[in-house]
Amino acid sequence: MSDQQPLVEAHDVVKRFKTRSLFGSGVDVCALDHVSLNLYPGETVALIGESGSGKTTLGKILLRLCPLTSGTVRFNGVDLFSMGASELRQARREFQMIFQNQLANLHPRLTVGEMLDESLRLHRPELDQAARQAQIEALLGEVGLVDKLNVRPARLSGGERRRVGLARILATRPKLVIADEPTSGLDAAIKLQMISLLKDLKSPETTYLIISHDLGLVRRIATRIIVLLKGRIVEDFPASRLDEGFEHHPYTQRLMHAADLFDANGDRRAHKAPSVVEEGFLDGRTDAILNAEGCVYACDCQRGSDLNLIHRCAKERPPLVEVALGHRLACFAAAKEGMSTPDNAPSTDETLKEKV
């Protein structure tokens, strides 16, 4: 996989928000703290993490929907943040985003057919009226909404709105689709339908980045999982390594325990981690102001009785290092017990440079 040219390369992305208070300049909130990642053609990558960890911000930055403080994002080798306005609009056809807020994707006063027609006119100007009509019907057929051609969004259910949003995005034939919480707010049956739709409609060369804290979705669809915590990538691993009992970041383990995905012995109840599976754990908005020096998880980490390690975690930022092929991990403790030592492994920043 890694010998391919990456579709998206984000290097050392930093995003700071300034919060304003009545007097003075307020606090600097670091939403993304030196994030580097590559997305390769055909992958389905899941970006998971608690609310406020910077998932959506990262998604938006990868599509240049909000400015970044520093770093670079390349799409197909072209620097996204140095493109001109019209060049960028042209390029946007290639990378699309499904927003979490479904009403943001759809215009309340346009029918489904009119909306798709508008997208096709914009992105596929070579089609004539009849061809567009045929294309609209084909797209609605793909998402199973043929009978909703002349319906306005107000009369669609939540699941149907999402499917219209998906059809609209597919109309542009994008290379990259970023889906922000594609299944939030859907009931179990519709959720499954949405997941299988996402799977079925994915062509082999399309890349998906799925932003979610629905681990059921991630489990079913992702080929790679990136865990974001307080603006830092703490782990990046192939989904196949979920099952095989590899060493993971303690935060990843906590997430997975909470979602019941690490039930190696088959007994689901017995393997919940103690005291971390309270209701709403994944929604707990943690303070985004960073402990800039040490590990972001140092305070909550239940690992290591080793005092040296605890001291190191609080003082030194663990680098994101490749512990195995395609598995990056930012943890002193896990890496120590794992397959290779972080001190010997090359830093990812260097490997990134080699790839570029």
Partner 1 sequence: MGGDHPSQECKAPSTPGSKKLRSLPLGLYLSGGIVALVFLLGLIAPLIPYDPAAAVDYQRQLAGPSWSHLLGCDGQGRDIALRIVKGTEAFFWPGILAMTIAVIGGAACGACAGYMRGWVGQAVRGLMQLLDTLPRLVFIVLLCTILDPGMYLIATTAGVLFIPTIAAICRRKVETLASEDYILAHIAHGFHPAWILGYHILWLQCRPLLIRQACTVFSYVLFVETALSYLGDYGVQEPWPSWGNMVAQTREGVGFWPWFVPAVMIVVSIAALLAFGNAIARREEAMR
> Exposed/middle/buried for 279, CB within 10 Å: 0-12, 13-18, 19+?
exposed
Least distance (Å) from partner 1 to the CB of residue 195?
22
Q: How far is the CB of 336 from partner 1 (least distance, A)?
A: 42
Q: At its nearest, how many Å lie between partner 1 and the CB of residue 198? A: 18
Q: Residues in the site for partner 1, rule: CB under 8 A?
A: 60, 63, 65, 89-90, 92-93, 96-97, 99, 101, 103-105, 107-110, 119, 122-123, 152, 154-155, 168-169, 172
Contact 322, 348 (CB under 8 A): yes
Query: φ, ψ for residue 81 (rounded to 5)?
Result: -85, 0
CA distance 25 to 8: 34
The least distance separating partner 1 from the CB of residue 183, rounded to whole angstroms, comes to 18
Amino acid, single-letter form, for residue 351 = T
Q: How far apart are CA 207 and CA 226, in angstroms?
A: 14
Q: Between 104 and 264, whose beta carbon lies closer to partner 1?
A: 104
Cβ(184)–Cβ(191) below 8 Å: no
Q: How many residues does the chain have?
A: 356
What is the DSSP secondary-structure string of 313-345?
A: HHHSPPP-EEEETTEEE--HHHHHHSSS-TTTS
User: Least distance in Å: CB of 100 to partner 1?
Assistant: 8
Closer Cβ to partner 1, 92 or 257, answer by number: 92
> Least distance in Å: CB of 313 to partner 1?
37
Question: Which of 20/269 has CB closer to partner 1?
Answer: 20
Least separation in angstroms between CB 207 and partner 1? 16
- The DSSP result for 162-192, as a single string, is HHHHHHHHHTT--SEEEEESTTTT--HHHHH
Smallest separation, CB 103 to partner 1 (Å): 6
Check if the beta carbon of residue 13 is closer than 8 Å to that of residue 34.
yes
Nearer to partner 1, 90 or 240 (CB): 90
Question: Which among 209, 172, 184 has a CA at the least distance from the CA of 60?
Answer: 209
Helix axes 158-170, 188-200, angle to 10 degrees: 10
Query: Rg of the Cα trace of the chain?
Result: 21
- Nearest-approach distance from CB 3 to partner 1, in angstroms: 31
The C-alpha atoms of residue 99 and residue 181 are separated, in whole angstroms, by 8
Output 154 or 289, the one with its CB closest to partner 1. 154
Nearer to partner 1, 24 or 108 (CB): 108
Name which of 103 and 131 has its Cβ closer to partner 1: 103
Q: CB–CB of 234/315 below 8 Å? A: no
Q: 185 vs 284, which CB is nearer to partner 1?
A: 185
By beta-carbon proximity to partner 1, the closer residue of 38 and 172 is 172
Gap between the Cα atoms of 72 and 80, Å rounded: 8
